[in-house]
Structure formats: structure tokens, C-alpha cells
């Protein structure tokens, strides 16, 4: 997913690129990422004052998201097989870093870094004749910051 369309004054999917680096496994290149979503997790803290005035604040609680992949190779399966093997061999499960690059309509690029990323293969894909196999990799990140 890359490219900038100068005719648009809004962001579209092909303006976004993502790169996942997963600990000792290194850079993970999913060949056909066809969807990406990242959403903040918030924690609400409320105070109901004696005078009846309710107050609230939303605190950051990490990020959750997913990659949708049209399976072109065994990358997602292999990453999960490695994580499973590490778990069953009592090894530390790798966490990583995710970078999101957004080509802005003004020609600039916004870069966001997700830290302490954990991933899971949530859907290995349903197989149907003459249809792409859709896989879903979900992630949790402790923090997202602009870099």
C-alpha cells in the first residue's frame, strides 16, 4: 500500500504503508496487505462530586488493531508457528515495533511508531475455489507516538 494521489485532498487506503519489526524475528513482510486498522484503547475515570457535577477523563490504554492479508506466501503462518514453538519451548514471546507511514494530501508524510507490539494470527483463512485466502493478524501495542 503506497503512493500519493495529488488529486485527492483526503487520505485513501493507498496512502498508507505499514512495517512490522518483531523482536528476534526481524522485519515481517506480509506480501499483500489489503487492510490495516488501528484503534486507541481508552480508560474512563469518573468522579461524581458531592455537588452533583460529574467529571471524567479518558486515559490512554494502548492500541489494538489488525492487518488483513491476501495470502501470497506462508509469512503469517510461519510467524505464528514460530511464536507457538517459542511458547511451548518456554522461550520469551517476541514483542516488536510497528511503523505506520501516511502520505498526506499536502505531500508530507506522517510517521507513527507503535511500541511493545504483540501479534496473533487470528484467522488463518478460509479456503474457497477461485478466491483469495484472507488472513487476519491482530496486534496490541502499548503506545503510539508520532516520530
The answer, yes or no, to whether residue 60 has pLDDT greater than 50, is yes
- State residue 86 phi and psi, 5-degree precision: -60, -40
What pLDDT does 5 receive?
A: 52
Q: Are the CB atoms for 68 and 35 separated by under 8 Å?
A: yes
- State residue 61 phi and psi, 5-degree precision: -130, 30
Q: Are the CB atoms for 48 and 36 separated by under 8 Å?
A: no
Region 87-111: mean pLDDT is 95
**How many angstroms separate the CA atoms of 34 and 30, rounded?**
10
Please report the domains of the chain, with CATH numbers, ordered by start residue: 13-146 (2.30.110)
What ranges make up the beta strands (E) of the chain?
A: 16-22, 27-28, 33-48, 54-70, 96-103, 109-123, 134-141, 143-146
Full 3-state SS string of 61-102: EEEEEEEEEECCCCHHHHHHHHHHHHHHCCCCCCCEEEEEEE
DSSP-derived 3-state class of residue 13: helix
Computed over every residue of the chain, the mean pLDDT equals 92
What pLDDT does 1 receive?
A: 47
The answer, yes or no, to whether residue 55 has pLDDT greater than 80, is yes
Cell of 77: 503462518
Region 29-45: mean pLDDT is 95
pTM value is: 0.87
Cell of 79: 510467524
Amino acid at each position: 500500500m503506497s503512493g500519493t494521489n495529488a488529486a485527492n485532498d483526503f487520505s485513501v487506503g493507498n496512502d498508507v504503508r505499514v512495517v512490522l519489526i518483531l523482536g528476534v524475528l526481524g522485519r515481517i513482510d506480509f506480501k499483500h496487505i489489503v487492510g490495516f486498522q488501528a484503534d486507541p484503547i481508552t480508560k474512563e475515570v469518573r468522579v461524581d462530586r458531592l455537588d452533583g457535577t460529574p467529571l471524567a477523563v479518558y486515559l490512554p490504554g494502548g492500541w489494538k488493531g489488525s492487518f488483513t492479508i491476501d495470502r501470497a506466501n506462508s509469512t503469517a503462518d510461519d510467524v505464528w508457528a514460530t511464536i507457538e514453538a517459542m511458547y511451548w519451548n518456554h522461550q520469551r514471546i517476541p514483542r516488536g515495533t510497528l511503523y505506520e507511514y501516511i502520505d498526506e494530501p499536502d505531500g508530507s508524510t506522517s510517521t507513527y511508531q507503535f511500541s511493545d507490539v504483540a501479534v496473533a494470527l487470528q484467522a488463518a483463512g478460509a479456503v474457497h475455489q477461485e478466491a483469495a485466502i484472507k488472513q487476519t493478524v491482530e496486534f496490541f501495542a502499548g503506545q503510539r507516538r508520532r516520530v
